Homo-oligomer: A and B are copies of this chain.
């Protein structure tokens, strides 16, 4: 990463046609704890690693409810994520109040992405320092959708994805297994999400019912959060599969994670 006079102002183009401040903001996403998302034809599941500030604190929430049919997983600056989640909740409430129906996810995501874009084109603000994985069910079609935002204002739709620290390991797992996700049962999806998280735990720690968190939305099923003891049955199934993943190779994390701002 080269550094020069073009990288301290978000409204300044580098001679190569890049916005370096936006790229730096994207670095902050890689420093949050990992978050994974995947979907079948009927459900969308998010899994996240909760990070505890100290033994005395509650774990920080990594999965935030937006509405009955939508939840958000975050990696990056918590404060920025909370602000965005608040905006999304307000939009959902407003839509229900004005139109009497739940907010269509694709429409909300376009608004959220535009909110990101604006911070990249004016010099009075900074780009957001957070990436969001959004699990949702379309209120009309009852189809699950998994969206991912980026500080650049880009918006992606994924079959399965992972963001945050050490998320390359999760992506490798997801790529290997994603063809089976379409018809997977609700429970199998949860196990896949947890299994993908295993490699994202730092150092000698393990994935436990204390640091894992699962959120589910699905066809005709409202938002459910699974934490603590409710996770144990799924974690138990996980251990049976452990050996299978050992042979995976992490690859080059930085390269794999690079998402171009252009398309």
Residues of A within 8 A of B (CB): 1, 3, 5-21, 24-33, 51, 53-58, 60, 62, 74-83, 86, 110, 113-114, 116-129, 148, 152-161, 171, 174-175, 178, 256, 259-263
Say whether B263 contacts A78, CB under 8 Å: yes
Say whether A56 contacts B160, CB under 8 Å: yes
Say whether B171 contacts A56, CB under 8 Å: yes
How far apart are the CA atoms of A54 and B160 in the complex, in Å? 10
Say whether A51 contacts B161, CB under 8 Å: no
Say whether A262 contacts B56, CB under 8 Å: no
Known interface pairs A56-B159, A154-B78; A127-B171 also in contact (CB < 8 Å): no
How far apart are the CA atoms of A119 and B25 in the complex, in Å? 17
Copies of this chain: 7
Instruction: Give the interface centre of A17, A27, A114, A259 by most chain B CB atoms within 10 Å.
Output: A17
Say whether A127 contacts B262, CB under 8 Å: no
Q: Determine the residue in chain B with the shortest Cβ distance to A31.
A: B262
Which of B13, B54, B175 is A129 in contact with, Cβ under 8 Å? B13
> What 16 additional pairs, Cβ within 8 angstroms, besides A75-B263, A78-B153, A82-B113?
A9-B12, A13-B24, A13-B28, A16-B27, A19-B77, A51-B260, A53-B260, A54-B175, A55-B175, A56-B158, A56-B159, A56-B171, A78-B263, A82-B114, A122-B125, A123-B125
Which of B29, B80, B121, B261 is A117 in contact with, Cβ under 8 Å? B80
How far apart are the CA atoms of A154 and B127 in the complex, in Å? 17
A18 CB to nearest B CB, Å: 7
A127 CB to nearest B CB, Å: 7
Instruction: Give the interface centre of A1, A13, A28 by most chain B CB atoms within 10 Å.
Output: A13
A34 CB to nearest B CB, Å: 11
Say whether A8 contacts B12, CB under 8 Å: yes
Known interface pairs A56-B171, A76-B262, A125-B121; A30-B17 also in contact (CB < 8 Å): yes
Known interface pairs A79-B154, A117-B82; A263-B110 also in contact (CB < 8 Å): no
A156 CB to nearest B CB, Å: 5
Say whether B77 contacts A262, CB under 8 Å: yes
Residues on B with beta carbons closer than 8 Å to the beta carbon of A120:
79
Known interface pairs A10-B11, A21-B12, A113-B79; A123-B122 also in contact (CB < 8 Å): no
**Could you pull out 17 A-B pairs where Cβ atoms are within 8 angstroms?**
A3-B15, A6-B8, A7-B15, A11-B125, A15-B20, A15-B24, A17-B25, A53-B156, A54-B161, A54-B171, A56-B158, A57-B156, A57-B157, A58-B157, A75-B263, A77-B261, A78-B155
